Amino acid sequence: MHSYMRAIGFSDIKDGNEIKDIIHDVFYEYDKREAVKEDKGRAFVEYSKDFGPDMGITVCGILDKEGFHQEYYYPYLKGSGITTREDIVIEKRGANESFSGVCEDIRVGISLIFYLRNAVTYKKKNILGNLLNPNISATFSGLSLSGKILLPLLKDEEQVRSNLEAARKRSRLIAEARKGDEEAIESLTLEDIDMYTTISRRIQKEDVFSIVETYFMPFGVECDQYHILGEIKSVQKVKNEYTGEKIYQMNLECNDMGFDICINAKDLLGEPEIGRRFKGSIWLQGHMNFLED
């Protein structure tokens, strides 16, 4: 069974027969079907079915004259809004027809790698290598197996404005440094030294999560899994219509990026509320938005 099935409410599946029944339900009662023609009279097909608001399962495989041959399946959360407009590179994952996206977002400072949800749409566009079209964006979402709720940091309006301006300034400096601007590189170096000094002093008397407001960093051996700490902007408790399990869906702001996550209520410690923070690990998914010129 896919390990992240419990994130959308399938935590009590006992054996492979139950999974087969669920996959059978997706295949015959799908909400959405996407297909793209390939060579030798074959087609790559995605069958998707929602089992709750904006969450469900996609089954992927090859369709030929002998019928449908399942290759893999995965749980998904659709996500909302636009997370990034940075350039994206798409790479194939292993032997099957699944893909990963890679983008350099200066707000995070690392290469973001995500699991591509709309592989058929990507294949239809027949895009290879770098995606430099300015009309392409991505919507991120995350599935979590473990998380906890932290209280927010106490900030007044002036601190909020100051932090926002500092983040914008740092983003500008990083963008200029990437172009080879020596002054920007020097400014970032000095800023990092000052930050290190400040944190070293404060950590003697304060908890680390009263100093660090948000973070986004790689986690584990899989390249598309991350540890995150983000502010909750909205939250709703929904139900998996198949199992009845309760799921929290939250919109987070993490390193100035907005995206949605979901987590089984069984796996969340604490009560999520707007303004509080979510700390946990996620499997990052991405949906590429292709707008016509």
* Per-residue confidence (pLDDT) for residue 134, from 0 to 100: 62
pLDDT digits over 91-115, tens only? 888 777 889 999 988 888 788 999 9
Residue 128 pLDDT greater than 70, yes or no: no
Of 15-29, 30-44, 138-152, 186-200, the range with the lowest mean pLDDT is 186-200
* Per-residue confidence (pLDDT) for residue 135, from 0 to 100: 74
Contact yes or no for 113/284 (Cβ under 8 A) = yes
pLDDT digits over 193-202, tens only? 888 888 888 8
Query: Which structure tokens are listed for 119?
Result: 């592989």
Query: Which structure tokens are listed for 105?
Result: 């977002």
* Per-residue confidence (pLDDT) for residue 54, from 0 to 100: 97
Average pLDDT over residues 3-8: 95
The DSSP annotation for 221-263 comes to SSTTEEEEEEEEEEEEEEE-TTT--EEEEEEEEETTEEEEEEE
Query: Which structure tokens are listed for 132?
Result: 């430099």
Contact residues for 72 (Cβ-Cβ < 8 A; gap 6+): 59, 60, 61, 96, 98
